[in-house]
Structure 1
């Protein structure tokens, strides 16, 4: 049996009761740390709270070499832990497909994800979001501009855009860095920079930071510790605008 369990947004206590009970009864516990991270708890804190030894997995361990996970699921009850909701990432869907092909029974225990958290923190209506995109750190000879294409297409269709920011083993992209890269994309393509950004830091923590405004305002703002994420709104509904004014300083 392989059960995919979402851990929620911030620390070890965000997990559901159902998820915690499943972990405690598991024979093997795996945690992937490349799509998202719980910034309020390290692996030692998770092991102490869950009462289980946890095997940490990188991207290659899941996407290229998942044999250890699948073998554990064939031999007993294995759980696969992820920050947020477990099936948001396509790599997790691929792992479930592989398990099914080997005759392994699977299950999912859902949890809060950044997709629903940003709606509550920003007041932007969830049914008005279009396709999301990710802003990666540029590399030598590689500076992608497709995120701006996604943002522009959504705005043309009066849809908001959730913009994920790159996570590396040694650094986490900030709101300011993300906004600056979007500005550079606009300059490179001869397009306008979006008029309004919403930056959010540490969703799910006791003191998240939410700031709305133009590019200059967000680049100058101090969002504090990671994780950060950006929303680029389309035309604001009256209530969305009021919410951002009250709770995000628009």
Structure 2
């Protein structure tokens, strides 16, 4: 029979295409890939099951990467649907499953049913998809692991004037290093990188490039790099904000008074460990990020120097109050009327 690889779109159960819905309802087993992205509606798994009339099997990373035989089991005789948030092939992760199906003996026919994804929703920023270069993903940094190899991709895009779509990290069903080292199967709460942390890591990586004698990769500036924040794209609460990196970051930054009050509160709590204080600071930062940009999912576009004046003007409809968007576009990006 057929392995259907079905895109679910961006928001909720109603974003599936009619062709995708028909395929899912006709499948014996339905899997939902549950680690590269999520639907942004409440109780989405239950709502999907009610619409499909089918039970859904959550496919975590280990399921897809290590147990693909179970997904493909008996697919020569029964239709099986593998559902992916967004478009099924926007993340190359799923090409391996398709190859396994087509290379099995006998081969399992595969039908791909496409849908909207962040790769198409970027056009809502006013920036033309034709003018985008390589897309990058930025992972959460830790104290001991701060990869920044993606800065070279940004630099390449910037060199030829292309925009860069920056995807923020998602941590679902992740274990702590402590639990992994001790073989404890316990998972941390889901985490979603939001715009402030994303920008902070981007600027830190750009500064680090100079310190490590890679000045060609130090291409970002808080004051002179234009960016567009894309938040909860495709939903009723979609939010698009444009400005310099510094202006976007400032939206979720505490005032001096707030910072002083929080420091005094932390200093007064003599019983709190540094780990507890760090957790408290992270919670405050998350509250500010949600207040400024709304809940996740968040992505960011770094604007390239080949910015067209129509792109500039369209994106300017989303600029933050008091932004220097037009001034930077004119003076730094040399974007003028034709």
String of CA shifts for 1:4-54, please: whole Å, max 9, x gaps.
000001111111111111111111100001111111142111111221100
Q: Which runs of 5+ in 2 are unaligned?
A: 173-189, 211-217, 252-291, 326-338
Please name the residue that 1:44 is paired with.
46
Q: 1:64 aligns with which of 63, 66, 72?
A: 66
Please name the residue that 2:165 is paired with.
162
Specify the structure having the higher radius of gyration (Cα): 2
1:85-124 map, 5 Å: 85-102=87-104, 103-119=107-123, 121-124=124-127
**Given that residues 2 and 106 in structure 1 are in contact (C-alpha distance below 8 angstroms), is that contact kept between their aligned partners in structure 2?**
yes
2: CA distance, partners of 1:214 / 1:185: 17
- Residue 31 of structure 2 aligns to a residue in which SS? strand
Please name the residue that 2:311 is paired with.
240
Please name the residue that 2:220 is paired with.
193
Please name the residue that 2:266 is paired with.
none
Please name the residue that 2:140 is paired with.
137
2: CA distance, partners of 1:128 / 1:193: 18
- Residue 294 of structure 2 aligns to a residue in which SS? coil
Q: 1:183 aligns with which of 178, 200, 203?
A: 203
Task: Compute the displacement of 1:72 (Å).
Answer: 4.2
Task: Compute the displacement of 1:141 (Å).
Answer: 2.1
2: CA distance, partners of 1:220 / 1:34: 30
Q: CA RMSD in A?
A: 1.3
- Residue 81 of structure 1 aligns to a residue in which SS? strand
1: CA distance, partners of 2:23 / 2:89: 17
Structure 1 runs, 4 residues or longer, greater than 3 Å off? 247-250
Number of corresponding residues: 249
Task: Compute the displacement of 1:74 (Å).
Answer: 2.8
Please name the residue that 2:25 is paired with.
24
* Greater strand fraction, Structure 1 or Structure 2: 1
**Given that residues 155 and 219 in structure 2 are in contact (C-alpha distance below 8 angstroms), is that contact kept between their aligned partners in structure 1?**
no
Q: Which runs of 5+ in 1 are unaligned?
A: none
Between the two structures, name the one with larger relative contact order (CA 8 Å, sep ≥ 6): 1
Q: Say whether residues 1:218 and 2:219 are aligned partners.
A: no
1: CA distance, partners of 2:132 / 2:242: 17
Task: Compute the displacement of 1:192 (Å).
Answer: 4.4
Question: TM-score, normalised to structure 1's length?
Answer: 0.96
Please name the residue that 1:73 is paired with.
75
